[in-house]
Structures are given as C-alpha cells and as structure tokens.
Amino acid sequence: MVTEPSEASGPSEPAATGTPAPARVLVASNRGPVSYTRHDDGTLEARRGGGGLVSGLSAIGSDDDAIWVCAALGEGDREAVRRTEGRLDPADTGGQRVRMLGIEPEVYAAAYNDVANSTLWFVHHMLYQTPLEPSFGPEFRERWAAYETYNRAFAEALAQEAAEGAAVLVQDYHLALVPGMLRALRPDLRIGHFSHTPWAPPEYFRLLPDDIAERLLLGLLGADRLGFLTRRWAGAFKECARAVLAGRGLTAHWPDDGAVDGGPPYLTCPRAGDGPADGRTYLAVHGLGADGDFLRERAHRPDVAERMVTLREQIGRTADGADRKTIVRVDRTELSKNIVRGLLAYRQFLLDHPEWRERVVHVAFAYPSRQDLAVYRDYTAEVRRTADAVNAELGTPGWTPVVLHVLDDFARSLAAYRLADVALVNPIRDGMNLVAKEIPVLSERACALVLSREAGACAELGEDALVVNPYDIGATADALHEALTMPAADRADRAKRLAAAATALPPQRWFLDQLEALRA
C-alpha cells in the first residue's frame, strides 16, 4: 500500500515521566507510528506514519488503557528514546501511548536487516536463488542470537506494561518469537499474532535450519490466536507446523476442506514454560481492506489536484488531442513486487500491439524501500534501467512510454490512482497488496485490474480482475491488452464490484475484530 507520512509536529521536549497505568490493550510492531529526525541544532522532529496498522489502531484512539510498543529504527528515534526514557511525548504521537525500545544498533541491524528482512522475508516470499543461497553458518547463528535478543526486549517490555489478563496483538515476522517468550513471562495474557506477509509452503520453509524452523513455529504457537491475510497463508502455516513439529506432539484440528472460516481450526502443541500443558492456538483469517472513506477524502484535497495537473502533462495527449490511456502501478520497491517483469510485459504489449503506441502511458511509481540492503539497491537500479531501455527503444519525440517516479509522494500516488484506466499489480508473492484494493476505489475511469494470482488480494478480487501468472510476461502483456480493450460496460461493472470487495474490511474493523476475538 502507499502510506502517507503526516505533517511533522514541532520540536520535541523531554516528556514528563511517571509510573504509567498498566495497559489493557497492547500492540507490538517493529515500526511504530512515529519516527524522529534529529536536526543540526539538536531538535528532534517527529513524523507520524500512515499504513493499515496505524489507521487500524486509531480505532482504540488515545485511550490511556492502550499502548503501542515499537523499536527505535534510526539515530533520531534513539535520541528520542534517550530523552523520554522510551515513553514518547503524546504530542508527537497524536495522543497515543507509545513505548519505543532503544535496542543496541548492532543487535537491531542484525535482527532487522539480516534475519527479518534478508532471511524470513526471503523465505516467506520465496525469493532465494537457491543454487547459491541461502547458506547458514556460524555468522548466521550470531545474527539469529541478535534476533532472539531483539524479540526478548519486546517480550519483556510487553510483560512490564500489561495489566492482568490484557490483550496483546503482536505484528509480523520481525516478532515471531515474542508470543512464546511473553507467554512464559506472563501466562495470564491473551496473546495474538498477525502475519502481514505470505507464509511459505513447508518445502521452502524448511530451507531454514531445523532448530530455527522449530523455534519460529513454537514461538508463534505461544499465541492464543494467529491471524493471516488469506486462507492460503493460514493453511501453509498449518502445513509447516505439521511438517516440522510432528515429533513435538503437534495436532491439527482442521476442517477437512482446509477452510479456516468453516469452524475455528486450531493447533495444539505442548508448550514449554508456565503455559497450559496442552496449548491451543486458533488460526484465523482477517483480510485487511482499503480505508475507502479516508482515501476518498484525502484524494480530493488540493495537493492531489495539483499533482494531477502535472501528471497529465507528463502523460500528454495523442496527436489528435485525445487523452492517453494510463496503466498505473505504485509499489514500494521490494524484491517481491515484480516491477521489472511488469515493465517488460508492457514492452511486449507495445511490440505485439503497435496500434497502442503513443496512445497509452505506463505510470510506474517505485518508491525506495530497505535501502540498507545491497540487493534492494541493485533491484531499484534495475527498475530504472529497464524503464529507460523501454523509453529509449520505443519512445518518440512526443511520447514517453514509461513515466517512472522513484521519490515517495503520497499525493502523487493518489493522483495516479484517480487517473488509472488499468491498474497493474503483478507481485511474485504478496501477503495482500493493498494497492490492488486502493486503485479501484479511487479510479475515475472505472479501471480494469491486472492482478497476480500470487497476491493475497486475488482471493477477494480475482473474479473481477484479469488474473495473471506473474512470471509470464507474454500472458501479462495479453492481459494489459484485454484490460485496455474491455467493453466499457463490463469494465464499469467489474470496477464497482472491485471497489466494494476492496473496502469490505476497513483497517479499524480489521483491528477491532481481532481484538474482540482475542478477548472472547
């Protein structure tokens, strides 16, 4: 999804510290709702982030009973932690209670970059070039130890902050060990975990060293409830647990057809520590949707209108003065997003259908992500190279086939959404992909959606999208053609249904459903 960094708030003063009341609702995630930049004059500038979790959590408002525990990501954050003892000034957080953990930079880098993003992310998205990678030796073991330290810091902070019987919602692959660690510290708590990524099938998950695969699964099975974005990922988790934990007494209570909403499926596995001897963990699906109300309001502010004017100029018009069609994509430049094959599919489409040259523009926004990792930097460079090559090969003096932007601009993303005739969302694997849900909500041209069958969103949108195998450039090119030539009435009907399905479970409901289920 695209996210909006909100207005920066003013310089931060040290916050008053006292003994805060224990919290009844706790959320834990690596990235918190706010990040800090330190200026040369020593002041700190706070910037609130956007995204599904931030918006979901706003459902609990600035309730004093709720707290968000997150990690300091960079130097600015660490300085804020030093000045506030980790309890951020509510003026910076929109009133939310936030505890930020100042984890040692080396420990943090190893846990976040090396284990979470370079290993677990790769496993769940199946990104390795397996003839050469991964290989797990002593160096990896050191990084894994850092991942354990980082998870323990979260578990200890949560254990400190939680009131008796409180509900704790732990987020994502960064914190897979937290549920088990926290249960050992505080067996009274209700613990949920949500995976925002896909889950790997067992034969891929088992690339991980056996003991680490086991630790990850047992860590998660410390939770009372595990949430996933689709049935497919929940089912894959169950299969991994079966394959890896067969010798540890795991049993799976699962409806025969594997439907996770046809009765509550659960796994049981004897738990270490103080927990119940035969711990039951329910598996559930919560398909996060787009925040339709927010998007529609935000997309009609003046800054978006301004961006539309500029974008229209960049897109240009045909020789006879007609609007050019647009194929829009917006991604964080993650290795899983398949931007390069998307560009190659567009090129193939222009080669196969020269009649579309000068009549269509591919508007591709590829925003920087995880630039600390060389492989991400290389991929970003490849995206640029490919876009430049398509423009050099096929462009004409009055027509730039690909309009590529790589600097994050939320208002411009919304402008592109509004102008979309076709949305191209072709990840090789994706937990959900909220862009696939956001574009149909905002498109003013009743956009057609070309969607990868490997995106979680395909489970909900597949019937009205043009579904593609993301590796098949030829088939994707054909789908682009079909999208552009689809009869207007068919397109309009599909677009309406796409927008409805996309907004079926807005972030606040998504969050509250999980909280209610955990407390039930």
| Residues making contact with ligand G6P (CB under 6 A) | 30-31, 117, 172, 196-197, 369-370, 431
For residue 436, the minimal CB distance to ligand G6P (Å) is 13
AA identity, residue 296: R
Strand, helix or coil for residue 170: strand
CA nearest to 267, candidates 278, 280, 277, 255: 280
Residues in the chain: 520
For residue 313, the minimal CB distance to ligand G6P (Å) is 31
Q: How many helices (H) and strands (E) does the chain have?
A: 20, 18
In terms of CB distance, is 3 or 326 closer to ligand G6P?
A: 3
For residue 488, the minimal CB distance to ligand G6P (Å) is 34
In terms of CB distance, is 275 or 431 closer to ligand G6P?
A: 431
410-419 vs 302-315: helix crossing angle, rounded to 10:
60
In terms of CB distance, is 240 or 477 closer to ligand G6P?
A: 240
In terms of CB distance, is 227 or 401 closer to ligand G6P?
A: 227
For residue 185, the minimal CB distance to ligand G6P (Å) is 24
The enclosing H or E element of 164 equals strand 162-171
For residue 92, the minimal CB distance to ligand G6P (Å) is 19
In terms of CB distance, is 269 or 428 closer to ligand G6P?
A: 428
φ/ψ region of 464 (left if φ > 0, alpha if ψ in -120 to 50, else beta) reads alpha
Pairing of strands 466-468, 448-452: parallel
Do 260 and 285 contact (CB within 8 A), yes or no? yes
In terms of CB distance, is 15 or 107 closer to ligand G6P?
A: 107
Do 461 and 503 contact (CB within 8 A), yes or no? no
For residue 217, the minimal CB distance to ligand G6P (Å) is 18
For residue 397, the minimal CB distance to ligand G6P (Å) is 39
What CA–CA distance (Å, rounded) separates 328 from 365? 8
Do 29 and 175 contact (CB within 8 A), yes or no? yes
Residue nearest to ligand G6P (CB): 196
Radius of gyration for the chain, computed over Cα atoms and rounded to the nearest angstrom: 23
Strand, helix or coil for residue 491: helix
In terms of CB distance, is 192 or 279 closer to ligand G6P?
A: 192
In terms of CB distance, is 197 or 230 closer to ligand G6P?
A: 197
For residue 172, the minimal CB distance to ligand G6P (Å) is 4
AA identity, residue 332: R
